[in-house]
Chain A
Amino acid sequence: MIQIQHLYKSFEDREVLKDINATFKDGEINLIIGQSGSGKTVLMKNIVGLLTPTSGSILYDDRDFVSLSKKEKIKLRREMGMIFQSAALFDSLSVLENVMFPLNMFSYDCYEDRKKRALDCLARVNLVGAENKFPGEISGGMQKRVAIARAIVLEPKYLFCDEPNSGLDPKTSIVIDELISGITHEDNITTIVNTHDMNSVMGIGENITFICEGRAEWQGSNKEIMDASNQKLDDFIFSSDILRQAKELHDQQKGIKV
């Protein structure tokens, strides 16, 4: 479980995160949603330690990441996996080498075992046969799947995904969502997904944190989102015609039932 307590982050005079409090549960897909520029990515970067918060604490199973020593931070980082918006694969390495990279750095297994483990992960994300290709030779969706395989190869306790569906078509987005969801539930990982894709919100959002202008405005599940009485959340979620109609239908049905 990851807990954020009274987190503030400022860049010179500009306060980007203001008193964020949130809890991200084990074995669940925790989504951080919000408009572009609301502070989602800054929050994610603070959680993974790429930025240092101005004040507040980030508790990884009661270990405060902010106050850990450098060595302890490195140790904790080895329990994390991250999927970046741009996949962030190493261009000079093949797909297999990319997936094997964390094993090569941290595992003391022999080469054959490391390769087997990497191939297993590639099979898990349905990428059998692509191991000798380079990142520049595969599609965006495949790159994201390689990034997922690389993130899970060391069996992390915490998985972070920064807009994993950005730049992908709806069908491929669903595939990526299902993969992340499957891995989270099977391996009981604490997964945090940063997204503004409404399909992901409605499909896999078990614990959603809505960020607006640097504040955590609402927290709940995708089942509760329809009934959330938060104007800012409603404005964000139901901004598209289809979702607004769905909301109206839901309200009508609820009214009939009542």
Chain B
Amino acid sequence: MRRFCKIEIKYHSINTTKIVLTIKSGLTHLGQYVQLMGRALTQPDRWRMFFKQYVTEMFQLGYNSIGIVLIISFFIGAVICLQIKLNIQSPWMPRMVVGYTTREIMLLEFSSSIMCLILAGKVGSNIASEIGTMRITQQIDALDIMGVNSANYLILPKIAGLMTIMPILVTFSVCAGILGSYATTLMGTTTVPELDEGFRYQFNQWFFWCGMIKAIVYAFIITSVSAYKGYTVEGGSVEVGKASTDAVVLSSILILFSDIFLTSMLT
């Protein structure tokens, strides 16, 4: 009995130590993240260089993602339309419910939150691996020795660039989703007038702005978290790969968490 108690106490203390260490590590990361953002979100050393980088980042992070956004949104819009038609509609429901529900799903959740989750994978891993490689090849050290605020020079244009382009991507996503649902009319599952009626039924403009606000917040989460993961890499290529994966996982989790708060705050 005494031995069993000893084992239990030991097991309990190991668990407590693990929890304390995890909390300590989490707080350390949070502190480092805040410090890094403090360095990044300051006035650029040279506005000319900042704008040059800003345009480049908008192109690299945003413009290069338009294709994937359009393709995914088009097909998801079509599938949502089909699923609602097949599973929800009944003789007791008005026919325009398919268009109405598709619009609300695209506008409120898919184009803002789920699209940002997908972009967290594409853009987040891109940012973390780019900055991580710069760290391990001493390019960031080179910037620091020159007297350049490396965090500001590398991270701020990415944050500003994606925050600018993300609402545009979300708008494209909504449009592609709606086009996708129109495409299902070719299969004969529904008709264009029915969809038209649904898309126009009780349209609340605020829902569009909710999507835009969410997109801007998620853009900040994706870029800042991924940049933090890349900037703090230590080691070699294996660590860069790990940082890239961690960036995607962490930014996805944070997007989902903030989605709950934003949804309850905005709607």
Q: Which residues of B contact A91 (CB under 8 A)?
A: 133, 137, 139
Could you mark each residue 101-119 of chain B with 1 if its beta carbon is under 8 Å from any beta carbon of chain A, else 0?
0000000000000000000
Interface contacts beyond A77-B144, A85-B138, A105-B49: sample of 18 additional A-B pairs, CB < 8 Å, sorted by A: A50-B141, A50-B144, A77-B145, A77-B147, A80-B145, A82-B142, A84-B141, A84-B142, A86-B138, A88-B139, A89-B139, A90-B142, A91-B133, A91-B137, A91-B139, A104-B46, A105-B46, A105-B146
Beta-carbon contact of B49 and A104 below 8 Å: yes
> Are A74 and B139 CB-contacts (below 8 A) given A105-B45, A105-B46, A105-B49?
no
Bound Cα distance A102, B137 (Å): 18
Q: Does B148 contact A (CB under 8 A)?
A: yes
Beta-carbon contact of B145 and A50 below 8 Å: yes
Q: Which of A67-112 contact B (CB under 8 A)?
A: 74-75, 77-78, 80, 82, 84-86, 88-91, 101-102, 104-106
Q: Which residues of B contact A84 (CB under 8 A)?
A: 138, 141-142
Using a CB–CB distance below 8 Å, which chain B residues touch chain A?
45-46, 48-49, 133, 137-139, 141-142, 144-148
- Measured CB to CB, the nearest residue on chain B to A80 is B145
Q: List 14 A-B contacts (CB under 8 A).
A: A49-B144, A50-B141, A50-B144, A78-B146, A86-B137, A88-B138, A88-B142, A90-B139, A91-B137, A91-B139, A101-B146, A104-B46, A104-B49, A106-B147
Q: Which residues of A contact B145 (CB under 8 A)?
A: 48-50, 77, 80, 82, 160
- Measured CB to CB, the nearest residue on chain A to B136 is A86
Bound Cα distance A139, B147 (Å): 28
Beta-carbon contact of B148 and A88 below 8 Å: no
Bound Cα distance A149, B250 (Å): 41
CB distance from A213 to the nearest CB of B (A): 24
Most A CB contacts (10 A, CB to CB) among B48, B137, B138, B147 go to: B147
Report whether over half of chain B's contact residues are helix, strand or loop; otherwise say mixed. helix
- Measured CB to CB, the nearest residue on chain B to A147 is B142
CB distance from B58 to the nearest CB of A (A): 15
Bound Cα distance A160, B49 (Å): 26
CB distance from B153 to the nearest CB of A (A): 8
- Measured CB to CB, the nearest residue on chain A to B138 is A88
Bound Cα distance A86, B133 (Å): 13
- Measured CB to CB, the nearest residue on chain B to A79 is B147
Bound Cα distance A88, B48 (Å): 23
Q: Which residues of B contact A88 (CB under 8 A)?
A: 137-139, 141-142
CB distance from B126 to the nearest CB of A (A): 13
Bound Cα distance A101, B52 (Å): 13
Q: Which residues of B contact A85 (CB under 8 A)?
A: 138
Bound Cα distance A75, B148 (Å): 10
CB distance from A86 to the nearest CB of B (A): 6
Q: Which residues of B contact A78 (CB under 8 A)?
A: 146-147
Q: Which of A92-140 contact B (CB under 8 A)?
A: 101-102, 104-106
Bound Cα distance A74, B48 (Å): 20
Q: Which residues of A contact B142 (CB under 8 A)?
A: 82, 84, 88, 90
Bound Cα distance A49, B144 (Å): 9
Bound Cα distance A78, B148 (Å): 9
Bound Cα distance A186, B49 (Å): 32
Beta-carbon contact of B138 and A75 below 8 Å: no
- Measured CB to CB, the nearest residue on chain A to B139 is A88
Bound Cα distance A90, B134 (Å): 8
CB distance from A93 to the nearest CB of B (A): 10
Q: Which residues of A contact B137 (CB under 8 A)?
A: 86, 88, 91
CB distance from B46 to the nearest CB of A (A): 6
CB distance from A153 to the nearest CB of B (A): 10
Bound Cα distance A50, B142 (Å): 10
CB distance from A157 to the nearest CB of B (A): 13
CB distance from B250 to the nearest CB of A (A): 26
